[in-house]
Amino acid sequence: MTYPFISGGVTAARGFTAAGVHCGIRKNRTKRDLALIVSDRPATAAAVYTKNLVKGAPLLVTKRHLSDGTARAVICNSGIANTCAFDGEEKAETMCAMTAEALGITANDVIVASTGVIGPSLPLEPVRAGLPALASSLSREGGADAAEAIMTTDTVKKEFAVSFELGGIACVLGGIAKGSGMIAPNMATMLCFLTTDAAIAAPLLRKALAETAEDTFNMLSVDGDTSTNDTVALMANGAAGNAPVTEENEDYHTFLAALRQVSTAIVRALAADGEGATRLLECRVAGAKSDADARLAAKAVIGSALFKSAMFGADANWGRVLCALGYSGAELDVRGVSVAFRSPAGHLAVCEGGAGIPFSEDTAKAVLSEKEITVEISLSDGNASAVAWGCDLTYDYVKINGDYRT
């Protein structure tokens, strides 16, 4: 089932407004650096966080605030990550308190996030100065400004939303995300804010988000570096008026499918906009012994620097795919591996039974010169499958990261 995509992103769902302004954490005055998302009524909320042992201070504060399963607002700055700074938690708590005061809600209902350079202490004066303008510009059309305000090295905004029905009632789920480098979410991660007007109990919201993250955010790698600040937060405010989802019934599965669809769209957009990327890479593994084996195999191929470089060069170097499968940790029989490349320009089989087969280099060049490339891997070990997403490794990745901090 595929639901129709609609416009509006994080403010597509009823009862949500958002805004984004430049407050001064970043020197570049043309770049918005502070985002706010608000529900006009209490919402159930859930989040998943990076498994990196080094955690940004905002994550620790958000985790405490979400322990009751409810939230009303998200405040997020870009420019400085508020991580590995001696005063991080205090600053993150103060940021929530200032936001709560501006909105007339309690600090415990504020989700806080930061993204940018790790290390420096976060200046709060720009946040304090920017909050009045931010709060007064909240609107149903503000999602795009919020999406821009959370960007770092991203070159495009990531906003998606779908509409679906629960018990005959039209509901919406949408969100915004940022991320371009330091991307290899582990277990449950990403800087992504999702909203829905569906009514759903907090425990089920948590379950749906964790399950979705496993197949979407956790199957993404731009550079293998798992960030310290990855967070996916989801607020459900019930403004749609559906009968609240309180058990794993048909409505729950409809909700899960909508969440998965938006999350997959976001992950593909993040991969396509990976730092320096010129191509979106999708790796589809079928015939694996188990889900875990399929995931390991797909992620190893997507994460291989050699495979990524070959894709940048539109070079059908399938030996690097076999090599990555071999060190992936997945249990597999090499003699049963087939590999093909697919893109809008065509389909190209390059390996069968673990050995190369003849192919046209001209066709290969055509297939691999597209913006979106799928590498299809067929194993002979079972029936499990997985999909992972990434991007090519380019000169610009090195350029962007050789001098990001200064």
- Binding residues among 254-273 for a second copy as defined by CB under 8 A: none
Check residue 224 for interaction with a second copy (CB under 8 A): yes
Residue 402 in the binding site for a second copy (CB under 8 A): yes
In degrees, rounded to 5, the angle at the alpha carbon of residue 305 between the alpha carbons of residues 301 and 309 is 100
Which among 25, 109, 29 is positioned nearest to 75, based on CA atoms? 109
Q: Which residues contact 362 (CB under 8 A, 6 or more apart)?
A: none
Q: Least distance (Å) from a second copy to the CB of residue 270?
A: 16
Comparing CB distances to a second copy, the nearer of 325 and 373 is 325
Query: Any catalytic annotation for residue 189?
Result: yes
* Token output for 160: 């998606």
Q: How many residues bind a second copy (CB under 8 A)?
A: 65
Report the DSSP pairing between strands 110-117 and 70-80: parallel
Stretches 13-21, 177-185, 209-217, 368-376: which one binds a second copy (CB under 8 A)?
177-185
Of 44, 94, 153, 189, the catalytic one is 189
Of 223 and 251, nearer to a second copy (C-beta) is 223
Shortest gap between Cβ of 330 and a second copy (angstroms)?
8
Report d(CA 42, CA 56) in Å as an integer: 26
3-state DSSP assignment of residue 3: coil
Supply the minimum distance, in Å, between the C-beta of residue 31 and a second copy: 20
Residue 118 binds to a second copy (criterion: CB under 8 A): yes
Helix residue ranges, H only, 117-165: 125-136, 143-149
129 binds a second copy (CB under 8 A): no
The distance of closest approach from Cβ of residue 51 to a second copy in the complex, given in angstroms and rounded to an integer, is 7
Give the contact letters, 325-354, x = binds to a second copy (CB under 8 A), - = no: xxx----x-x----------------x-xx
Cβ-contact 376, 342 below 8 angstroms:
yes
One-letter identity of residue 179: G
3-state DSSP call for residue 232?
strand
Question: 């600040």: which residue's tokens?
Answer: 229
Cα 42 to Cα 73, 161, 202, 249, 279: the distances in Å are 9, 21, 12, 24, 41
Q: Active-site residues: which are they?
A: 189
Could you list the residues that contact a second copy (CB under 8 A)?
51-55, 81, 83-86, 117-120, 181-182, 184, 186, 223-228, 303-306, 309-310, 312-313, 315-320, 322-327, 332, 334, 351, 353-356, 361, 393-395, 397-406
